Structure 1
Amino acid sequence: MLFLIYTENFPAINLYKKFDFEEVGIIRKYRKLDGQYFDCLVMAKFLQK
């Protein structure tokens, strides 16, 4: 399972960490809004069958 979360969204990051999601990467300059770039954190949880 994979999620992309803005690095400034601390409540969401903390919530996903509570459910054992791991930070696996960062996408720099993921989105530009009002002339400012925002990075995106990639979080994943590896599920077993």
Structure 2
Amino acid sequence: MHIFVYIHMYTYTCAYSCIHTCIRIHAHICIHPHVYVYMCIFMYKHMYTYTCAY
């Protein structure tokens, strides 16, 4: 339950940051924004699942 809430929270935070980074940096990084966002989400999930479990 705890982990699920963390994943949810950081997925949104992460997606938001990714979109902003995307806007700030040159457009060629945004060719595949979905890949970028999913990669970011995957990293956050991993990180916060461990933090939370700990």
User: When the two structures are superposed, what TM-score results if normalisation uses the length of structure 2?
Assistant: 0.28
Structure (1 or 2) with the greater helix fraction: 2
Larger RCO (alpha carbons 8 Å, 6+ apart): 2
- The structure in which a higher percent of residues are strand is 1
Scaled by the length of structure 1, what TM-score is found?
0.29
